[in-house]
Chain A
Amino acid sequence: MAQISKDAELFQKFLPGRKILIADSNAGSRSSLFNVLKEMGAKSNQLFLANTYKAAEEQIAELKPHVVIAEYEFGPRCGLELLQSQREQRPKETKDCIFIIVTGNTSQTAAARALEEDIDAYIIKPYTLEFVRKTILNAAIQKIRPPEYLKTIEQGKARMEEAKLDEAEELFNKATKLDPAPSLAYYYLGQVKFLREIVAQAQSNYMKGLKFNGIHYKCLVGMYELLMKERRHKDAYDVVKKIAKYFPANPKRLGEVLRLAIMTGEYEDIERYYLMFMTLDQRNETLIRYTTAALVVCGKYYLDSNQGAGKALDIFNKAAVTSMGSPRVLSEIIPVLIENNLPEEAEKFLKRFPPETHKGKEFQVMNFLILNGKSAPSLVVEQGRRLLAQGIEDPRLYEVMIKRSVEANLGAAAEDLVRSAVAKYPAKKELFESLLKRSSP
């Protein structure tokens, strides 16, 4: 109790001259937090309210608040973006700011994202006023009077930024003795070793940090980055899976999980991932994009490795459904099916293009590729010319037209096409010219 009143006193001393922004679309919440802060000693003229994300963003730019209390679900935006915006504008000062999320979102996803963003505290609604007071106080005290352990780590970080690695290492070593579970200190020791390129010792320090806390975010990320740099993709995949499990819904990370699943040939994980994805109520655009791309790659792998067209078609079907008939995704699938001699299946996927996209480049090119498989060369060339005249251009279109022109003994036309194709796609010069040579007597 005495400590709380001491902390409250310290907080009151911290308040003069500070600006506090309460950003929440809910009027009651703004009012309630305003009253709590007033009770804690803040003056009305230090407290600023924002009821929209835009207003909050503007106030952050204008007022440069020292304390921000924001709702996670802020209209279509996320309150965490406010911190990102503040960090971009004032990276140095943001370290000393207090940023608290007060939200009705109780999901692990939201909490973990807040944690990753280095938010100081996360309060869920409905709350008790006592808990709000205590949490704001604790978050402030950590900044005003951090424990010796965190202070030492901060000093070490400053040395590290100045490239004084010996001094930084000494401070981080000292910090390992200042807390019974010093994962963070071991993480920074690992970072120093990593900078010195002593990889084994960096890894050993991350491992030590993880012994105290098996899901220590920074140690896991440090380990992941180290393994990626060492091109130990299999081990990196295991680590990133663990990160994604405990700190879910970071689209960048989910992308890494899928990329590594592909790089390490763990295609079955992608199918399992898809099953989990299907159970989600809310799927954001990025998540859909990553999942769809991974499914397409997975389907291509099944075809290339002769694991049966059925399995591949099933996966492609899932990708098409997930992307809601995205022309981009269908344009990835159809050429693969044509290459693998599955023209009827390719036509089925062509029919999935939404009618409003039929005049677009993607549909026209895919239609052309399918036509190429079942029509005489002269017809294909004619249709290709029509498309080019309409301004629809694609290297695959040129590729087919050059081949077909040669087959139809239209040597001069084929040469003209190669010239145009090279001018448009110089990086594919060798490919276009080889088509001409391949067909030469």
Chain B
Amino acid sequence: MGDEFELFNPSDFESIRLTFDFKNLSTDRSVPNSSDVSLLEVGDKTLTVEIPFDNCAVDNHVLLKIFKTDPASGNQVPIFNTTAKMIKIDKVGDGDRLLIVLDLIQFDKKGWNDFLCVFSSRQQEISRLFEMRNK
């Protein structure tokens, strides 16, 4: 199909969708529902995630697997795996959620950089679009 005929591009409607496997290795407990886990911040070698309230403690170890949903097949494609240590825990909401800062321990550096790149490159594209508007 020629580009000139594309009234819109279906991929424009797709957002990067992540799913998670979150397991507290110290308590041997997992978050059963991936949609209960949200990834909010990325740091130098840290990730800030929000999970439902559970018996977690600073220094607990975690196994975190992050998957990206392939828009074409709907399959979950693994994009980053790490073991990490909980270095900060805050109760949020009505106390029913935890905001946890994870310090990454064992992970593939290239995988980490690729993971960061997925979001930073998209952010750059969007920011550029916004800058151009005021020109």
Contact = CB atoms under 8 A, between A and B. Distances in A.
Interface of A: 26-32, 51, 104-112, 115, 119, 121-129, 131, 135, 142, 150, 179, 181-184, 212-213, 216-218, 241, 244-245, 248-249, 254, 257, 269, 272-273, 275-276, 279-282
13 contacts: A28-B40, A28-B48, A106-B119, A108-B11, A125-B39, A126-B39, A127-B119, A129-B41, A248-B9, A249-B13, A269-B7, A272-B6, A276-B9
Given A249-B13, A272-B5, 14 more contacts: A26-B38, A27-B99, A28-B49, A29-B50, A32-B40, A115-B130, A115-B133, A121-B130, A124-B119, A128-B41, A129-B41, A244-B8, A254-B8, A275-B1
Contact of A125 (B6, B40, B71, B129): B40
- A-B pairs with lowest CB-CB distance, top 5: A27-B93, A28-B50, A108-B12, A27-B92, A107-B15
Given A106-B119, A107-B13, A281-B13, A127 B42 contact: yes
B135 interface: yes
B6 A276 contact: yes
Contacts, number: 142
B47 A124 contact: no
B15 A212 contact: no
Contacts of A216: 132-133, 135
B55 interface: no
Interface string B123-135: 1001101101111
A126 B132 contact: no
B111 interface: no
Contacts of A275: 1
Interface on chain B toward A: helix, strand, loop, or mixed SS? mixed
Given A26-B50, A28-B40, A280-B10, A51 B93 contact: yes
Contacts of B93: 27, 51
Contact of B132 (A29, A104, A213): A213
B28 interface: no
Counting contact residues on chain B (CB < 8 A from A), the size range is: 35 or more
Interface of B: 1, 5-16, 38-43, 47-50, 71, 90, 92-93, 97, 99, 119, 122-123, 126-127, 129-130, 132-135
A121 B133 CA distance: 11
Interface on chain A toward B: helix, strand, loop, or mixed SS? helix
B134 A184 contact: yes
Contacts of B10: 276, 279-280
Contacts of A104: 15, 38
A184 to B, nearest CB: 6
A56 to B, nearest CB: 16
Nearest to B118: A106
Contacts of A51: 93
A150 B134 CA distance: 8
